[in-house]
Structure 1
Amino acid sequence: MRQETVTNPEMLEPNPLVSLLRISSHLAGQVEIRAALRSVKTEIENLLPIDHLDVCLVDDNVTWNTSYEVGIRTRWSLSRTPVAISPVRSILFGETDYMLTDNAMEDERYTYEGALAQPIIKHKLRSRVNVAMKVLGRTVGALNCSSRTPGLYDEKTVERVRQIADVLAPYFYSLKANEKAKQAAIVRAEAQAREEGLRQGALELTRVLEQERQRIGMDLHDQTLADLTRIMRDLEKAETPDDKAHVIGSIQDCIQDLRRIIDTAVPTLLDLFGFAHALRIHLERAVEDADATILQVCDETDGRIDRLDPVTRIALYRIAQEGINNAARHSGADRISVTVRCRKGQLKMVIEDNGLGLPGGKSGRHGGKATGGIAHMRTRARLITADFSVSGKDGTRITVKLPMSGEPDEDACPTEPAEWEA
């Protein structure tokens, strides 16, 4: 005799209490919000049918909303968005505890003008139930469940989602606070690193300036003073017009040497004639055979570089001087150029030559061991918060990028061309 077993449909219904306990168990040990949401997705699906699940959390001022979602990836989780344009802003602002709709695509509470409702339309998220997540009576976010099937949720679903939200809220609030603390710690660490970098940079620059002062003193002693002593002796012996002409020529050479030393110590040319012209003069003086070398200084900032504060402008000038000197003395190049550009709030200076390059074609940005002129240039760049890099392949290319304060006007900084990062 065949015996049939009759199953009570209610016995197939998942026990909400068991599922809630499992949700709590899955959350234990989670340290990241998205991972925590993924860990409970299956248990939530056991309690109600969903095609999309997300949690949105607000900041302390209820100004910005951050969304975390599993399943379908939408614009909601790409970046923070203003609470004012959220489809669930009524919940986030504390105006209501829940929202329920049979078809969010046609519900003006979700698709009002200006709302970030594109995911609802694109993915046809018709049935929606949204419940406030509260901690100590304050709304900290919303739990949002959606389905493509219209008319799927009812008041009973709202109560079930509210139970889930009550379990999730303290965990997610804690994880958000922990995430905020980590970000604050990172910001503090970066600030301390910058401060230490500036301190070390200031010490290094002080050492370099002392070396420069000693070098100038030695130049005056070994060259200018010796020349003046020799001129005095020649003047005492001068009897004929030719002798006197020779002395005058020696005096003129001495004056030129003094001008060179003065220009090195104080960039008067920079103040008198501007950045580009001063560099062009320095480039011509630095190269022994100017006629056999292609020299180019190009200012594409429309003079903006001469409107920088004096400390920044002099630092860029010194970096360019050092790069030019290295190219002229050591590279064997027959082409040396300096180009200054301004694009999208950033000033970029490039010193390049077609010489021998660096040993092994070395290149690098902030880090890396560097000595001599490169170390000095890197230090000066660090002190004006500029990005410094050098490439030694197929010649040498030194690049300095300086963030500008405020957005430059369109004439001074036109639209960035494709080769800007070349």
Structure 2
Amino acid sequence: MTEPNALVSLLRISSHLAGQVEIRAALRSVKAEIENLLPIDHMDVCLVDDKAAWNTSYEVGIKTRWSLSRTPVAISPVRSILLGETDFMLTGNAMEDERYTYEGALAQPIIKHKLRSRVNVAMKVLGRTIGALNCSSCLPDVYDESTVVRVRQIADVLSPYFYSLRANEKAKRAAVVRAEAQAREEGLRQGALELTRALEQERQRIGMDLHDQTLADLTRIMRDAEKMVSAADKAQVIDSIQHCIADLRRIIDTAVPTILDLFGFAHALRIHLERAVEDVAAVKLETVDETEGLIDTLDPTIRIALFRIAQEAINNAARHADADHISVTVKRLKAGLQMTIMDNGRGLTASGRSRQAGKATGGLAHMRTRARLIAAEFGMSHKDGTTVTVKLPLAGLSNQAPVSYSATEEPA
């Protein structure tokens, strides 16, 4: 039975704990009341993690190494309590008690600070041991069985409070870790977007330089070649230069998506489809824009990234998968916008070790990277051909950069 004075102290302990939001502060707030119930030179609370593998100590009184870092339960002087093997430990001289100073035990504070008398009681919540309340005196033989009863009463009051405070502490740490991870991811993504913008600007500069200088030079050379006497030589030179000009025009069109800017996403894709399969007979091409022009209002960097992904998927289908039907569909979803590129080709199977499939696989990495840079989901399947799906979240439909990313992909 609890004595009247002890009951008052326990009620005061409970009132001191009310409103506390931090474990060490809570322990300091009740230290004086506990000293009214029993003599202590050192007091600490050990709380174990969910798997009872590590414990964290919170101290008042003497400062020891126990509270400097987490400790494996296996070397704790009160491991028997933390592991649920006993409900309490009592000793008149812990410095000579092998239960506390066994080989490998973290008993240095006991020896250094001469914590002779010790009483340790399990702290439980819903029948599960969550830690131990440990009281020590530098004098020998201070505590007895009645002290164990009193410390158990204190532990019963402290346990639910400290359990809640520990849960709150863990939640705060997890929130901080998540926030830091999100900040790092957002910083990396923003940096990647800026890099993408810079690369696109550089591509456009190169394209304009090629158009203004290189093409002009080649055109002049072709005109000079037309004046050559030998018809055979002239024809050979002109043919080579024409091929060179055609290649340069393709480079320029790739570097500067002028058609995309002038005529919109769907028309630009149709032109690219035609160019991608210009040497392949009987290929059915189809483009569908179900967004009512929404895709052409996207942030230019995001729209260009979608265009590049579609280009790569079309190239893979036309040049590597022997597809005779390619379709590109862009539509609005409740969660954002979706672009789907489908073909009936061979897909990227285990034979992807071949030279052509190797190129297509490299293109797959580029598509996935571009999708990640604009915070879009990227998916690919290979049933009855290849289907590439890119889902842009709602955040990406404004002129502001998107803020989240997830990716799902079936094995290539």
- CA offsets, 1:4-33, max 9 Å, x none? xxxxxxxxx991111111100100000000
Partner secondary structure for residue 56 of structure 2: strand
**Cα distance, 1:233 vs structure 2:** 7.5
SS state at 2:20 partner? coil
Distance 2:222 2:140 in 1: 105
Deviation at 1:226, TM superposition (A): 4.4
Q: Which amino acid aligns with 1:43?
A: E
* Pair 1:131-2:86 in alignment: no
Residue among 9, 21, 37 paired with 1:31: 21
User: Distance in 2 between the 1:226 and 1:147 partners?
Assistant: 94
Structure 2 gaps of 5+ residues are 229-247, 256-372, 374-412
What's the counterpart of residue 111 of structure 1?
Answer: 101
Paired amino acid for 1:110: Y
Question: Which letter does structure 1 place at the counterpart of 2:116?
Answer: R
Which residues of 2 match residues 20-419 of structure 1 at below 5 A?
20-228=10-218
Structure 1: any 5+ residue segments left out of the alignment? 1-12, 239-257, 266-382, 384-422
Q: What residue number does 1:270 align with?
A: none
Greater shift, 195-204 or 71-80, is seen at 195-204
Q: Report % sequence identity.
A: 90
The letter of the residue matching 1:78 is: L
TM-score (norm 1): 0.51
Supply the distance in 2 between the matched residues of 1:81 and 1:124 (Cα, whole angstroms): 21
Aligned amino acid, residue 204 of structure 2: Q
Cα deviation, residue 207, structure 1: 1.7
Tell me by how many angstroms 1:110 deviates.
0.6
Q: CA deviation at 1:236?
A: 8.8
Q: Please report the RMSD computed on the Cα atoms of aligned residues, expressed in angstroms.
A: 3.1
Larger displacement relative to structure 2 (201-210 or 212-221): 201-210
Q: 1: distance between equivalents of 2:49 and 2:177?
A: 18
Cα deviation code 1:112-148 (max 9, x no counterpart): 1111111111111111110000111111100000111
Report the residue type matching 1:165 in the other structure. Answer: A
| Whole-Å separation in 1 of the counterparts to 2:227 and 2:45 | 96
C-alpha separation between the residues in 1 aligned to 2:221 and 2:200?
A: 30
Which residue does 2:294 correspond to in 1?
A: none
Match of 1:249 in 2: none
TM-score normalised over the length of structure 2: 0.52
User: In structure 2, how many angstroms separate the alpha carbons of the residues matched to 1:235 and 1:40?
Assistant: 99
What residue identity is the alignment partner of 1:174? S
Distance in 1 of aligned mates of 2:191 and 2:110:
53
Aligned amino acid, residue 96 of structure 2: E
Cα gap change, 1:24 to 1:235, in 2 (>3 Å)? same
- Between the aligned partners of 1:121 and 1:222, the Cα distance in structure 2 is 85
Deviation at 1:201, TM superposition (A): 3.5
Q: Please give the alpha-carbon distance, in whole angstroms, between the structure 1 residues aligned to 2:62 and 2:226.
A: 95
Counterpart secondary structure, 2:122? strand
Give a deviation string over 1:93-115, Cα, whole Å, max 9, x none: 01000001111111111111111
Instruction: Tell me how far apart the structure 2 counterparts of residues 45 and 184 of structure 1 sit (CA, whole Å).
Output: 35
Aligned residue pairs total 236
How much does 1:215 deviate? 1.7
* Post-superposition offset of 1:198: 4.0
State the alpha-carbon separation in 2 of the partners of residues 114 and 219 from structure 1: 73
Report the alpha carbon displacement of residue 213 of structure 1 after superposing the two structures with TM. Answer: 1.0
**What do residues 277-321 of structure 1 show as CA deviations (whole Å, max 9, x unaligned)?**
xxxxxxxxxxxxxxxxxxxxxxxxxxxxxxxxxxxxxxxxxxxxx
> Residues of 1 paired with 2:31 and 2:213: CA distance?
81
Contact 1:14–1:47 (8 Å) recurs in 2: no
Tell me if the contact between 1:53 and 1:71 (Cα under 8 Å) persists in the aligned partners.
Answer: yes
Contact 1:85 1:116 in 2 (8 A): yes
CA distance in 2, matches of 1:234, 1:104: 103
